[in-house]
C-alpha cells in the first residue's frame, strides 16, 4: 500500500495517505511477469494531477460514468478463439487488460456493488512488450 501511494504521488502528483485508502482490487498477473495490486483511494478534495514525464506518457481524467456507460465493456472476438476485453472510454481511446481489466473491476465492484474477478483475462499481444 505504501508503494502504491508513493507511486501515485511520484507519477501523478496526487497526494494520498493510508487514511484515504478505501480498499484494494484483485491482483492482476500481467504478462510481463509483474503482479499489479490496484489500490483504491477516496480523496477529501480535488487535486490537480500532473504527470511525471519520465514515468507517465499521458494522463486521461474521465468522469466515472464513462466506466458504466452502455457498451462498456465490449468484447472483441479473436481469430484464435476467445474474446478480448475492450474498454472504450472516449471516441479515440480504447484500453485493454491490464488497465482495462482493472477499470472494469473498479466499475463493477465500487460503482455497481457487484462481484467480479478479472485475473483470468488475457492481455492483447501488443501489451507484452
What is the per-residue pLDDT across 53-80, written as a single tens digit (0 to 9) for each?
Answer: 999 999 999 999 999 999 999 999 988 8
CB neighbours (10 Å) of residue 48?
8
Quote the pLDDT of residue 40: 97
Query: What CA–CA distance (Å, rounded) separates 129 from 108?
Result: 28
Query: What CA–CA distance (Å, rounded) separates 59 from 77?
Result: 29
Report the relative pairing of strands 74-77 and 21-24 from DSSP bridges.
unpaired
pLDDT (mean) for 90-108: 94
Query: What CA–CA distance (Å, rounded) separates 50 from 13?
Result: 5
The string of pLDDT tens digits covering residues 14-67 is 999 999 999 999 999 987 788 999 999 999 999 999 999 999 999 999 999 999
117: phi > 0 → left, psi -120 to 50 → alpha, else beta; which?
Answer: beta
Please tell me the pTM assigned to this model. 0.90
Amino acid at each position: 500500500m505504501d508503494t502504491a501511494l508513493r507511486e501515485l504521488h511520484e507519477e501523478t502528483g496526487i497526494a494520498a495517505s493510508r487514511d484515504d485508502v478505501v480498499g484494494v482490487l484483485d491482483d492482476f498477473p500481467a504478462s510481463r511477469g509483474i503482479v499489479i495490486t490496484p489500490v483504491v483511494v477516496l480523496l477529501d478534495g480535488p487535486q490537480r494531477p500532473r504527470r511525471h514525464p519520465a514515468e507517465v506518457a499521458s494522463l486521461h481524467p474521465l468522469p466515472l460514468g464513462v466506466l458504466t456507460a452502455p457498451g462498456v465493456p465490449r468484447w472483441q472476438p479473436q481469430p484464435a478463439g476467445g474474446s478480448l476485453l475492450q474498454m472504450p472510454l472516449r471516441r479515440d481511446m480504447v484500453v485493454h487488460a491490464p488497465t482495462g481489466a482493472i477499470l472494469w473491476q473498479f466499475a463493477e465492484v465500487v460503482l455497481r456493488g457487484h462481484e467480479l474477478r478479472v485475473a483470468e483475462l488475457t492481455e492483447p499481444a501488443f501489451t507484452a512488450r
